[in-house]
Structure formats: structure tokens, C-alpha cells
Amino acid sequence: MYDGTKFHGSQIQGEQVTVQLELNKALSILFRTPMSTYGASRTDEGVHALCNFYHFDTEEELDFDLKYKCNSILPGSLCIKQVYLAANPSFNARFDATGRRYRYRIYTAKNPFLLNRAMYYPYTLNHELLRQTAAIIMEHEHFESFSKRKAQSKTFICNIAESYWEQAGEELHYVVAANRFLRGMVRGLVGTQLHIAREKGSIDDFRKILAVRDCTKAFFDVPGHGLYLEQIVYPDGMLVEVNTRLTM
């Protein structure tokens, strides 16, 4: 898990500080050879993760506590929660994942302890409209309107498993789960729903945005620091949990 405000996104971008770069550096120190990791989900700058997966390949015997050693090297904004051994050597963290879930957090009363942890949004919202837009999302599978340009996606089809808003204490959360997500998709869904909920558009407008397949019609104007990648799902038996020291 990581604090996204401390990184220029998750994916390698030259020498800029990213999650993947820090993981590669830590593993390279431990194995005393250049190591590369491959992530399950890419997150933009500012986006947090409570759960992301990275895989790496090695033929070396791991006779040390990998989790402890890595965490002793990694910066405080990034930590390894658990280590797994792939049952199949061809395992790929990205392509073998069957589901991902995101949560977007909003608060309406100013709170300095939520700064960069959720989006401050002190506007009146029509919660019934939020409920309706979230339900409409479940009816669709083509989300080109909610994919930023230059996404390099071969398909815009996503199978949505969950889409709903919930009150969490003083915060309002949007939760969405799917087999895959497009670049900027969750922030586009949130921003567009909030636009409708402020009664700047109608439910029919929301349906039209989905149907037109044009990202210039959606609203992506919500910050990354309100977004959390909170779950990634793999088929049963694909990963074997390693509690302490891993030996092969």
C-alpha cells in the first residue's frame, strides 16, 4: 500500500519517483542484481493504494524474510503488506487479475486531517441523482466516454460488478468494482456523477454521455488524492501466502 501524493504515479517514468521505481530499487539491493517488477494496476499521481500487487521473477533461493527486508529499505510512504508465491511460474500480476475495486472519498466540512486523503467538496448534492447515475453505470459495458485520450486501450469494454454511493461517517464514498478499468475512468465516473448531482445536468444527459463515446463530454475534474485502489482479486489457488521466510 502507498500514499500516492508522494509519487509521480505507480509506473516507471525514467528517474522520477514512482512506486515501481522504489520497489525495483529495493529488490535490486536485496538481490544484488537489477530487478524489475510488474504491477497489477497503474495509478496516477496522487492516487493511493490500500492494495496493489506487483510480481517479479527470480531463480535465486529466497532464504531471508523478504517482507521485512524490503520494508526496511522502502520509503515510509510505501510498504509491503504480504508476500505470495505464484503457483504457476507464468503468473502475471496484471493479466491474471479478475477484479479490481476502487473507492473515491469526499468530505463536505473542512477538515485539515483529510487534506490530500479525500476531496473537499462543500457543495449541495442531490443524493437521489447519485443513486440513479451509479445504477445506470451497472447497465453498461462500453466506457470510451470515461477513458482519457492516448490510453492505448485495445477495447473499452469493462464488466462492472459494483457501482454505488455510501455514507461513511462524515464522508461520502463512491465504490466501483470491475474486471478492468480504463485510464482515468474512475475519476471520470465520479466527476460526471457529481456534475449531475449538483443539478448541472439531467439523468438523460448522463445517459447521453455514456452513449456518445466521446471523452470530451465527461468530467474528469476531481483530484487523484480522493481515489483509493482498495482490492485486487485473483482466482483461488493462484497465490500461496508466505507468512515469514520464503524458501524454494
Q: What is the pLDDT of residues 168-181, one digit of tens each?
A: 999 999 999 999 99
For the entire predicted model, the pTM comes to 0.94
**For residues 198 and 195, what is the distance between their CA atoms, to the nearest angstrom?**
5
Residue 16 has pLDDT above 80, yes or no: yes
Mean residue pLDDT of the chain comes to 94
Task: Give me the pLDDT at residue 246, please.
Answer: 46
C-alpha R_g of the chain: 19
Domains of the chain, earliest start first: 4-95+232-242 (3.30.70.580), 102-226 (3.30.70.660)
Task: Give me the pLDDT at residue 134, please.
Answer: 98
More confident residue, 176 or 150: 176
C-alpha cell at 160: 462492472
**For residues 223 and 140, what is the distance between their CA atoms, to the nearest angstrom?**
25
Q: What is the pLDDT of residues 86-131, one digit of tens each?
A: 999 999 999 999 999 999 999 999 999 999 999 999 999 999 999 9
Q: What is the pLDDT of residues 183-217, one digit of tens each?
A: 999 999 999 999 999 999 999 999 999 999 999 99
Residue for cell digits 529488490?
Answer: 27
**For residues 166 and 197, what is the distance between their CA atoms, to the nearest angstrom?**
14
Residue 136 has pLDDT above 60, yes or no: yes
Task: Give me the pLDDT at residue 181, please.
Answer: 96
Annotated catalytic residue 44 = yes
Annotated catalytic residue within 3, 44, 96, 221: 44
Task: Give me the pLDDT at residue 6, please.
Answer: 96
